[in-house]
Amino acid sequence: MRRMIRNVHDAALAALMIDDPVAKCAAAAALRHDWIARTLDVLEGGDDARAIAEPGRPSRPQLVAPQALSSRHIGSREGHAALLHAIAHIEFNAINLALDCVHRFRSMPAAFHRDWIHVAAEEASHFELVQARLHALGHGYGDFSAHNGLWDMACRTADDVLSRMALVPRVLEARGLDATPMIVAKLRRIGDDESVAVLDVILRDEVGHVAIGDYWFRDCCARRGLDAEAVYLELMERFNAPWPQAPLHREARLAAGFSAAELDRLARGRR
């Protein structure tokens, strides 16, 4: 008989380890439902769980180094699909990243887990929206190769929630805030208004997701007596995290919690 899951952390781990994207999305939605229904406990203040080296993922897409990804012109049908596939891959990884936060960082308050359960469910919804657009072009998730940069950073920051909040939401996911307007412009040029509408939803929600990461990063810094913005730059250097590429989406980043002074510093580039 299967062991009954009674806490959000084990439920998040079970969802994290699901290979099938459809089933993973359903599990993320069910986790939020169960949280709202208060049918699962939170082990608040417990010891953090062991890191997960490999989350559940389908056998495809093939994972390659970022420089090995081939570029395709969005004007071609293949290039159009490849762009949407790259977005779907980001959203799939974002489900795993949010679930991992709930599973792993058990020492954090219940509100932390509430926030990342909510993020996991929204990321699952985003994946489903992009997957539907891929299907409309005759493709599906796994049809193109992809890289593993988001999960790699999750592994590198698995031992410290402060570093995770700094370098995944505030670095890697915040880059999506900057990139989305340019992607939207490309899709508009080829008349793909349906995908533009999907990206409008994703951008709106992702501002909130980065804001959640920002809140918990600053909370961790405050509890440790650290200057958040100085620590952020220090962590970017220590982990050799990618510097944001211009132009920054200042409005979105300000809404997500970055300060104007911080954005001015990021805009000057790495030194």
Residue 151 has pLDDT above 50, yes or no: yes
The angle formed by the CA atoms of residues 139, 130 and 54, to the nearest 5 degrees, is 85
Q: What is the Cα–Cα distance from 4 to 198, expressed in whole angstroms?
A: 36
Q: Residue 41 carries which DSSP code?
A: B
pLDDT at 4: 65
Question: What's the pLDDT at 72?
Answer: 75
Nearest alpha-carbon partner for 95 in 20, 171, 40, 145: 20
CATH class (in words) of the domain with range 8-42+68-267: mainly alpha
pLDDT-based confidence at 237, cuts 50/70/90? very high
Angle between helices 8-16 and 77-104 (to 10 degrees): 150
Q: Is the pLDDT of residue 2 over 60?
A: no
Tens digit of pLDDT for each residue in 154-176?
Answer: 999 999 999 999 999 999 999 99
Instruction: Give the pLDDT confidence score for residue 66 in this predicted structure.
Output: 80
Q: Give the whole-angstrom CA distance, residue 196 versus residue 144.
A: 21
Query: What pLDDT sits at residue 65?
Result: 81
Q: What is the pLDDT of residue 1?
A: 32
pLDDT digits (tens, 9 = 90+) for 77-134: 999 999 999 999 999 999 999 999 999 999 999 999 999 999 999 999 999 999 999 9
pLDDT bracket for residue 233 (50, 70, 90): very high
Question: With contact defined as beta carbons under 8 Å apart, do 197 and 184 qualify?
Answer: no
pLDDT for 12-63, tens place per residue? Answer: 999 999 999 999 999 999 999 999 999 998 887 777 888 898 999 999 999 8
Each residue's pLDDT tens digit, 249-261: 999 999 999 999 9
Is the pLDDT higher at 66 or at 231? Answer: 231
Distance CA 49, CA 23 (A): 24
Per the CB < 8 A criterion, the answer to whether 73 and 36 are in contact is no
